[in-house]
Amino acid sequence: MRKTFAPLDDMLIERVFQPASDAISDRIGLGREIAACFCLDLASLAWIVSRVSGLSDAVSAWDACNACLNAALLLLGLVALMSLRLLFRRAGGKAKNPLRMAMQPHRAVVLLMLVVRLTQLGTPSIAGVADVAMWVCAASALYLGACAARPPVRRHWAALVPAAG
């Protein structure tokens, strides 16, 4: 699986998300780990919106088993997204990004789930659109987290000396 997915994964990182990460860093001043965490926050909000209708329907129908299952699924998804957020925060300041290779299976699964969800999206509802938005934000976070950190700006020693004159 790695040999077939690796070229697509590398192309997405190098051609789409690394330039996006560099642009975010240059224009807004956010590092890749903060941008990835922001995408995970958006994914968490989209996950809540996508699950709230099922949970509220189960609660209003007094279906305790279904309500507990929906609440557990909601909490499990939020815990998974917050765990990724903590991982991105911990791996944020390193020069060589260990998440590029380590998270490759995760990126493959999220892209596969996104494609499957897009094919299942017949008549769009708020929950369905929120679910797709959650997968898009999660994929963006995983790819932004895999990008290389911007090298620090090095100033030439002559630029630090005041001009004589």
In this predicted model, what pLDDT tens digit does every residue of 39-86 receive, in sequence order? 999 999 998 988 888 777 777 778 777 778 878 888 898 899 898 888
The identity of residue 55, as a single letter, is L
- Give me 79's structure tokens: 């815990």
pLDDT of residue 164: 55
Residue 133 lies in a domain: yes
Which of the listed ranges 13-27, 35-49, 121-135, 141-155 does the model predict with the highest average pLDDT?
35-49
pLDDT of residue 136: 94
Do 134 and 50 meet the contact criterion of CB atoms below 8 Å apart? yes
Residue 153 lies in a domain: no
Residue 158 lies in a domain: no
Prediction pTM value: 0.79
- Confidence grade of residue 96 (pLDDT, cut at 50, 70, 90): low
Q: Give the mean pLDDT of 33-43.
A: 90
pLDDT above 90: percentage of residues in the chain? 20
Residue 31 lies in a domain: yes
Q: Give the mean pLDDT of 88-115.
A: 80
Q: Which residue reads 């290779």 in tokens?
A: 101
Higher pLDDT, 60 or 106: 106
Residue 36 lies in a domain: yes
pLDDT of residue 134: 93
pLDDT of residue 128: 87
Domain count, the chain: 1
| C-beta atoms surrounding 134 within 10 Å | 25
pLDDT of residue 43: 94
- The mean pLDDT of the chain is 82
- Confidence grade of residue 1 (pLDDT, cut at 50, 70, 90): low
Residue 12 lies in a domain: yes
**Does the structure show a pLDDT above 90 at 137?**
yes
| C-beta atoms surrounding 160 within 10 Å | 7
Q: Which domain holds residue 10?
A: 2-148
Q: Which residue reads 């919106």 in tokens?
A: 49
* Residue 129, Cβ density class (10 Å: 0-12 exposed, 13-18 middle, ≥19 buried): middle
pLDDT of residue 159: 53
Report the Cα 21 to chain-centroid distance in Å: 12
Residue 160 lies in a domain: no
Do 55 and 71 meet the contact criterion of CB atoms below 8 Å apart? yes
| C-beta atoms surrounding 42 within 10 Å | 18
